[in-house]
Amino acid sequence: MSQLNNDGRSSVSFILNGNPVTGYAEPRMLLTDFLREEMGLTEIHVGCEHGVCGACTIRMDGLPARACLTFAIQAEGHRIDTVQSLAQPSGVLSDLQLAFRKHHALQCGYCTPGILMSSSAFLEINHDPSEEEVRDMLSGHLCRCTGYVGMVRAILEVARNRISA
Ligand code: FES
Ligand code: FES
């Protein structure tokens, strides 16, 4: 349970990418700022800061969530996963990351961590998605570089490969 310090900040404890962490946040501090500034996770990208672009998407207890619409103290007691959670500790990339690389599904990469988090959650509940379903999922993310075609190909290929594995 979080506790208020005499400097007005609360302690926040949660599971971050599989490891227990504790930090301190003012009540109005956003989870984006907390993860970047207190936890040093610069893979948390901030675009619009009001829930539209999807760049800041993390997974909270497995579900995609906008970190820019979440207060840091709301993470208390939860499991938070960022794009770091996808690769193995040895650095071996996940099948989804490899497929994004193969299909040139990223250019500048600003949108990519958030899209990977939504896509990873999506594929866990929809094992055999149609192209339309993939595009519908991706509609929650803005990418100014790629045109999305590579992402769609990558996600469909991962789904196909997992089914045939
Ligand atoms: S920065 Fe969070 S949705 Fe755009
Ligand atoms: S790869 Fe540049 S915004 Fe998506």
Give 19 Cα–ligand 2 centroid separation in angstroms: 29
Least distant ligand from the CA of 115: 2
- Domains belonging to the chain, first-starting first, are 10-85 (3.10.20.30), 95-164 (1.10.150.120)
CB atoms within 10 A of CB 155: 30
Distance, CA of 120 to CA of 123 (rounded, Å): 5
Pocket test for ligand 1, best of 33, 48, 82 (most atoms within 8 A of CB): 48
Task: Quote the crossing angle between the two packed helices 149-164 and 95-102, to the nearest 10°.
Answer: 140
The pLDDT tens digits for 72-92 are 999 999 999 999 999 999 999
Q: Would the CB of 143 count as within 6 Å of ligand 1?
A: no
| Distance from chain centroid for Cα 106 | 15
Q: What is the pTM of this model?
A: 0.95
Nearest CA to ligand 2 atom 2: 108
Query: What is the pLDDT tens value at each position of the chain, 165 positions in all?
Result: 666 776 889 999 999 999 999 999 999 999 999 999 999 999 999 999 999 999 999 999 999 999 999 999 999 999 999 999 999 999 999 999 999 999 999 999 999 999 999 999 999 999 999 999 999 999 999 999 999 999 999 999 999 999 999
The pLDDT tens digits for 44-76 are 999 999 999 999 999 999 999 999 999 999 999
CA atoms within 13 Å, Cβ hemisphere of 61: 5
Nearest CA to ligand 2 atom 4: 143
Give 148 Cα–ligand 2 centroid separation in angstroms: 9
Give 75 Cα–ligand 2 centroid separation in angstroms: 27
Q: Would the CB of 17 count as within 6 Å of ligand 2?
A: no
Structure tokens at 23: 């930090």
